[in-house]
């Protein structure tokens, strides 16, 4: 098993990007430790605050965000950061070559039940002609990401990352404190009999998604001619990890539950990094209108519809929208 830095050098990742990735991973090791100790150190439950998303922040959301932000801003490698838990972007070093968007803890509702959570990150090049305090730096499409990944704080702490040369799996080896590469060039099976969606929103979906899911539920006697299984971890990191491991379709479709908020997941620090990882593994990552990574963002906290995973199944779903 290969250590992280030599594995990245093999993929011709520039040295300054390797340094930034190592900084990010130092933060995730600390978060992994804090997560494992949360119950013992009074870090379960919610704060009294809401984030910019209108969600009540968990204590661990705040701790993970502060850790990630501080470590990144102190490193000197980043020009600015943006986070799910920050109102706007935060300036770093004017000479930093990169900008980082992150979801410090994904799957917050799992925190208090000791279930799967993770951290998601996305790295872009910093535009040289913009000020570190200018949030417009973040308005770059997902197809310009130079690195994306997530860390799962599960039975083992696992990193899944791409720098554009395939999607690779790493596991945190606590005996030496570093991530070791355990699988190279993961491939998402093109066909699947598994889907992930929050079924409780069914009555709020648009008609094409209602029709698609009804056909999946109809099983081997329905139009799809096969039985489908359903899974929902309520943490995108967990659901996408399952899709990367054994295939599947993951969607958080548009719904009219709250007409002002038709989408749930965030483009910059959820949809884009997961899209990069899935596409690098041979999967597809779409909205009903086109490729997620081609969206030109207008806002750091912009939300988006996602339909992603096994190629043939994503295409089967999109056919219902035509
Ligand atoms: P976060 O905890 O970072 O706010 O993200 C939660 C997201 C995503 O991880 C997950 O797929 C989805 O919300 C779960 O949604 P439901 O509450 O509808 O299950
Ligand atoms: Mn949240
Ligand atoms: Mn999230
Ligand atoms: Mn989060």
Q: How far apart are CA 12 and CA 122, in angstroms?
A: 18
Which pLDDT does position 99 carry in this prediction?
98
The pair phi, psi for residue 172, each rounded to 5°, is -75, 115
Burial class (CB in 10 A: 0-12, 13-18, 19+), 84: buried
305 in a known ligand binding site: no
Is the C-beta atom of 80 inside 6 A of ligand 1? no
Q: How far apart are CA 126 and CA 161, in angstroms?
A: 20
Q: Which residues of the chain have pLDDT under 50?
A: none
Supply the residue whose CA is at minimum distance from atom 16 of ligand 1: 234
Question: Is ipTM over 0.95?
Answer: yes
Is the C-beta atom of 108 inside 6 A of ligand 1? yes
Contact 277, 149 (CB under 8 A): yes
CA-232 nearest atom, ligand 1: 19
Q: From the CA of 129, how far away is ligand 4's center (Å)?
A: 30
Which pLDDT does position 266 carry in this prediction?
98
Instruction: Report residue 93 as tokens.
Output: 């070093």
Please list, residue by residue across 91-107, b when 16 or more beta carbons sit within 10 angstroms of its beta carbon and e when fewer do.
bbbeebbbbbbbbbbbb
Tens of pLDDT along 90-128? 999 999 999 999 999 999 999 999 999 999 999 999 999
Q: From the CA of 229, how far away is ligand 2's center (Å)?
A: 27
Write down the domain spans for the chain.
2-183, 194-321
Contact 150, 283 (CB under 8 A): no
Is the C-beta atom of 216 inside 6 A of ligand 1? no
Specify whether domain 2-183 bears CATH 3.30.540.10.
yes
Instruction: Report residue 132 as tokens.
Output: 């570190």
Beta-carbon contacts of residue 163 (< 8 Å; ≥ 6 apart):
8, 11, 13, 17, 146, 147
CA dihedral 51, 273, 71, 111 (to 10 degrees): 50
Which pLDDT does position 119 carry in this prediction?
98
Specify whether domain 194-321 bears CATH 3.40.190.80.
yes
105 in a known ligand binding site: yes
pTM over 0.90: yes
Is the C-beta atom of 110 inside 6 A of ligand 1? no
Which pLDDT does position 275 carry in this prediction?
99
Supply the residue whose CA is at minimum distance from atom 6 of ligand 1: 107
CA-103 nearest atom, ligand 1: 3
């Amino acid at each position: 098993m290969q250590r992280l830095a030599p594995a990245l050098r093999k993929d011709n990742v520039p040295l300054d990007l390797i340094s930034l990735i190592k900084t990010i991973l130092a933060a995730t090791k600390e978060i992994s430790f804090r997560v494992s100790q949360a119950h013992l150190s009074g870090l379960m439950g919610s704060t009294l605050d809401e984030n910019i998303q209108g969600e009540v922040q968990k204590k661990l959301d705040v701790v993970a965000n502060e850790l990630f932000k501080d470590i990144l801003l102190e490193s000197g490698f980043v020009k600015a950061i943006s986070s799910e838990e920050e109102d706007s972007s935060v300036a770093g070093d004017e000479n930093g070559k990169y900008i980082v968007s992150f979801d410090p803890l994904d799957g917050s509702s799992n925190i208090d039940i000791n279930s799967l959570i993770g951290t998601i990150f996305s790295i872009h090049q910093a535009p040289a002609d913009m000020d570190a305090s200018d949030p417009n730096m973040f308005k770059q499409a997902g197809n310009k990401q130079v690195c994306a990944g997530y860390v799962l704080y599960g039975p083992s702490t696992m990193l899944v990352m791409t720098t554009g040369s395939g999607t690779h799996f790493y596991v945190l080896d606590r005996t030496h404190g570093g991530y070791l590469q355990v699988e190279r060039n993961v491939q998402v099976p093109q066909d699947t009999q598994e889907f992930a969606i929050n079924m409780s929103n069914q009555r709020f979906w648009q008609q094409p998604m209602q029709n698609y899911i009804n056909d999946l539920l109809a099983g081997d006697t329905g139009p799809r001619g096969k039985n489908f299984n359903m899974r929902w971890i309520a943490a995108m990191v967990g659901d996408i990890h399952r899709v990367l491991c054994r295939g599947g379709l993951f969607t958080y479709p548009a719904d009219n539950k709250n007409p002002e908020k038709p989408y749930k997941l965030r483009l910059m620090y959820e949809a884009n990094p997961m899209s990069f990882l899935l596409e690098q593994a041979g999967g597809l990552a779409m909205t009903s209108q086109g490729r997620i990574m081609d969206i030109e963002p207008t806002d750091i906290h912009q939300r988006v519809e996602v339909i992603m995973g096994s190629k043939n199944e994503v295409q089967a779903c999109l056919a219902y929208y035509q």
